[in-house]
Amino acid sequence: MEAIPFSRFKEAFIRILENLEKHREELNDLDAPIGDSDHGESVCRAFARVKEAVEAFPEDQKDIGALFTAVGKTILFFGGAAMGPLYGTAFLDAGKVAQGKSSLTLPEFVEVFAAFVEGVRRRGKAEPGDKTMYDTLYPALLALKGACEAGKPLEEALEEAKKAARLGMESTKGMLAKRGRASRLGERSIGHIDPGAASSYFIIEAWFESLM
């Protein structure tokens, strides 16, 4: 069974920042109707710090769990009041599952990603349909699990999860916001893709493509 090496996870964080930078203005625009028009700035700033932490990670260490832990701590510190606790917790939880591993098979990665998604759900107290990043992440997890259980190869499983994440992101446009600042808008939150759901998709897009 093909295993994903440490090097691909390290490279993924560089690719994530590049993808977020590419969509920075789009994320700011999505945030304008329901926030402070700065979501793109915030997420890019946080993952620029993540890139620094990843580049400073000891060359002689190949522990995926330790890498995720370093990333989680960095986002907690630099990610801001809304995003920092969510992604920080997610990567810390994923790091616990991946601890001591220098590569991950697809079933192992499913477990790690499940911990990541659960970290977001638990910290944000989100459920499907709340119009949050969880509406991007949870469908991706279900698709990844389903593909793994069906015995599909790594690349196909990641591609299916990525497509599910996009559909999840797009589905937030028709939702009524129930969490965060957007929930204060009531019915006016309908008709806009949630910026957190969008940035989550751009993260997954780059992350999963790096692992293929």
Locate the domains of the chain by residue range: 3-211
Which fold is adopted by the domain 3-211?
Answer: 1.25.40
At 79 the pLDDT is: 82
| Vertex 171: Cα angle to 165 and 172 (nearest 5) | 100
Are 164 and 121 in contact, with CB atoms under 8 Å apart?
Answer: no
Reference 113, options 18, 27, 1, 4; nearest CA is 4
Q: Which of 24-33, 56-65, 162-171, 203-212 has the lowest mean pLDDT?
A: 24-33
Distance between CA atoms of 119 and 43, rounded to whole angstroms? 18
Confidence of residue 2 (pLDDT cuts 50, 70, 90): confident
pTM for the whole structure: 0.93
26: pLDDT strictly greater than 90: yes
Q: Which two tokens stand for residue 25?
A: 């203005």
pLDDT tens figures, 174-209: 886 666 555 555 555 687 889 999 999 999 999 999
At 39 the pLDDT is: 86
